[in-house]
Amino acid sequence: MDLLYRSTRNHEETALASEAILKGLASDGGLFVPDHIPALGCTLTALKEMNYQETAYAVMKEFLTDYTEEELKNCIRNAYDEKFEEDVIVPLAKVDGVYHLELYHGPTIAFKDMALSILPHLMTAAAKKNHLNREIVILTATSGDTGKAALAGFADVPGTRIIVFYPKGGVSRVQELQMVTQQGKNTAVVALHGNFDQAQTGVKALFADQELVQKLHAAGMQFSSANSINIGRLVPQIVYYVYAYGQLLKNEELAEGEAVNVVVPTGNFGNILAAYYAKQMGLPIAKLICASNENKVLFDFFRNGTYDKNREFFLTSSPSMDILVSSNLERLIYLAAGQDDKKTKAFMESLKETGVYSVTEEMQKFLKDFAAGFATQMETAECIQSVYEKTGYVMDTHTAVARSVYEAYKVEQKDAAKTLLASTASPYKFPGSVMRALHAAEGERDEFRLIEKLEEISGMPVPMAVKGLETRPVLHTEECDPETMRQTVEKLLGIA
Ligand SMILES: *Cc1c(COP(=O)(O)O)cnc(C)c1O
């Protein structure tokens, strides 16, 4: 029997996994969720001997039940290959007693590669299964990171094209170079004369432009979205928690069945939700510790049951966590509400209309598996420095938010359980903030010089993603205004 997916806001809307992946969002604006969370299909002991790809298959086949074994194994093989600089895909580093799961050895040196390297393959397999003979066109607006991860994931995947808009002058030099030097015949990158909000609003308008949608259909194409609420991004993220547990058993760091805590630097709530799903599958996880930066809306929510986005927004040194609406939280709210679609819908409508909702006491009890904390920018920088002094290990700012929150949690709660920490970016991704935290920037502002200095200090080789970036040929020079995004898309797709 196939696992059925339902909209969090309307139980009547159902989809098979492949359909949910093609649609992204349910038509009522809800998120697709499995109608139950399947159990892990193998023993914990068996995990010890499984490599990353084998673990991926064991986990994903339970969720993506309408994919054949061959389809799924093909997707996994095409995703987790030499694009990752480490053969094990996600190495574990024991850093002063905490297991750091390094999710950043993919093409863009941040954890979004874990899901975005497989999503294109899941989508094209889904299109084939559903006899969709159209080419899939991904449109994305980016503030820097997601765009590059999506470009790298979709580059040269047959049956797909991708167009990324970024705000000209609104991303770092490294980020811009990463995008405009992207190879792949099916990729396009456009610098928008505007800010990120204008790029995002513009992309949303293109998705909703029925005339454009029809024009695309006539040309044998259709839009799709790669954003983080797609179930095809969530499911691949469950894998690394299961894999890490197997490795900890294998290395005799854990006894079989021993529960670990998991701490995750959180923004949109996708990564930590994947850990929660892993726990529901039967992986021995004790606490899920949700770490925020100064945008601590989740901390307040777990503390008092009220989600309130009406607050000041801070730009911090951990920009990928600068978020006030954590979209994937809806999937947890849905479970806490006893899988009640009407209640979930009411909470989300309240959020949309007033920016606030409060959950019931009963729901708060359901959330007791979660702990939460936040770290200021100062605490984050101090944590990078102190861990480096003690161990020589260099963390990026996002990872350091999690480490800082964990250190405080351990003292406050006197919880001595072994702990797995999701390390979400390479320090080479944020060389400015990292080098300043280490008091080693010496006024240098050029990111490439800072990268060289970081290599000297850390002894960690510069990853392929940024090595030689300065001298790579620029392949994308398209620019446009917010008003001409549609014409630009039509031109790039050859349907003007
Ligand atoms: C996206 C991102 C996060 C936040 O992950 P969510 O799944 O959105 O909670 C944390 N760290 C880095 C480096 C990221 O890119």
Which DSSP helix (H) or strand (E) runs through 214?
helix 210-218
* Nearest atom, ligand 1, residue 274 CA: 7
Nearest to 59 by CA among 275, 318, 222: 275
Structure tokens at 246: 């197997």
Which DSSP helix (H) or strand (E) runs through 102?
strand 98-102
Nearest-CA residue for atom 14 of ligand 1:
320
Average pLDDT over residues 488-495: 96
Q: How confident is the model at residue 29 (pLDDT cuts 50, 70, 90)?
A: confident
* Nearest atom, ligand 1, residue 146 CA: 15
What is the CB < 6 Å shell around ligand 1? 110-112, 145, 228, 265-271, 320-321, 398, 424-425
Nearest to 331 by CA among 19, 53, 14, 31: 31
Helix, strand, coil shares of the chain, percent, nearest 5, are 45, 15, 35
Which residues, other chains included, contact 149 with Cβ-Cβ below 8 Å and sequence gap of 6+?
106, 107, 108, 110, 112, 113, 116
Ligand 1 mean position, distance from CA 25 (Å): 20
Q: Tell me the percentage of the chain whose pLDDT exceeds 90.
A: 88
Ligand 1 mean position, distance from CA 204 (Å): 22
Cα 191 to Cα 188: distance, rounded to the nearest angstrom = 10
Ligand 1 mean position, distance from CA 189 (Å): 22
* Nearest atom, ligand 1, residue 273 CA: 7
Identify the residue whose tokens are 């895909």: 89
* Nearest atom, ligand 1, residue 398 CA: 11
pLDDT tens digit sequence for 446-474: 999 999 999 999 999 999 999 989 899 99
Average pLDDT over residues 330-357: 97
* Nearest atom, ligand 1, residue 399 CA: 11
Ligand 1 mean position, distance from CA 324 (Å): 13
* Nearest atom, ligand 1, residue 268 CA: 8
Per-residue pLDDT at 144 exceeds 80: no
Q: How confident is the model at residue 197 (pLDDT cuts 50, 70, 90)?
A: confident
Ligand 1 mean position, distance from CA 400 (Å): 13
C-beta of residue 470 within 8 angstroms of C-beta of residue 181? no
* Nearest atom, ligand 1, residue 269 CA: 9
Mutate which of 321, 322, 405, 426 to test ligand 1's pocket (most atoms within 8 Å of Cβ)? Answer: 321
Nearest-CA residue for atom 1 of ligand 1:
320
CA angle 162, 164, 165 (to 5 degrees): 155
* Nearest atom, ligand 1, residue 267 CA: 9
Ligand 1 mean position, distance from CA 421 (Å): 13
User: Domains plus CATH for the chain?
Assistant: 92-110+232-461 (3.40.50.1100)
CA 456 vs. chain centroid, Å, equals 30
Q: Which residues pair with 162 in a beta bridge?
A: 138, 187
Ligand 1 mean position, distance from CA 430 (Å): 14
Per-residue pLDDT at 9 exceeds 90: yes
Mutate which of 31, 398, 423 to test ligand 1's pocket (most atoms within 8 Å of Cβ)? Answer: 398
pLDDT tens digit sequence for 210-241: 999 999 999 999 998 888 889 999 999 999 99
Cα 281 to Cα 58: distance, rounded to the nearest angstrom = 12
Pair type for strands 135-141 and 221-224 = parallel
Ligand 1 mean position, distance from CA 217 (Å): 34
Ligand 1 mean position, distance from CA 215 (Å): 35
Q: How confident is the model at residue 204 (pLDDT cuts 50, 70, 90)?
A: confident
441-465 in b/e form (b: 16+ CB < 10 A) is beebeebeebbebbeeebeeebbeb
Ligand 1 mean position, distance from CA 320 (Å): 5
* Nearest atom, ligand 1, residue 112 CA: 15
C-beta of residue 299 within 8 angstroms of C-beta of residue 292? yes
* Range in 86-100, 166-180, 237-251, 274-288 the model is least confident about: 166-180
C-beta of residue 259 within 8 angstroms of C-beta of residue 286? yes
Nearest-CA residue for atom 8 of ligand 1:
268
Ligand 1 mean position, distance from CA 424 (Å): 7
Per-residue pLDDT at 170 exceeds 90: no
Q: How confident is the model at residue 34 (pLDDT cuts 50, 70, 90)?
A: very high
Nearest-CA residue for atom 2 of ligand 1:
320
Cα 404 to Cα 492: distance, rounded to the nearest angstrom = 45
Identify the residue whose tokens are 């898309």: 489
The span from the first CA to the last CA of the chain, in angstroms, equals: 45
Ligand 1 mean position, distance from CA 234 (Å): 12
Q: The dihedral of CA 36, 326, 289, 105: what is its sign?
A: positive
Cα 450 to Cα 452: distance, rounded to the nearest angstrom = 5
Mutate which of 271, 276, 298 to test ligand 1's pocket (most atoms within 8 Å of Cβ)? Answer: 271
> Has this prediction a pTM greater than 0.75?
yes
C-beta of residue 423 within 8 angstroms of C-beta of residue 105? no
* More confidently predicted of 1 and 354: 354
Structure tokens at 459: 């002894």
Nearest to 444 by CA among 434, 432, 455, 427: 432
Ligand 1 mean position, distance from CA 225 (Å): 18
Ordered DSSP codes for 139-191: EEE-SSHHHHHHHHHHTT-TTEEEEEEEETTSS-HHHHHHHHT---TTEEEEE
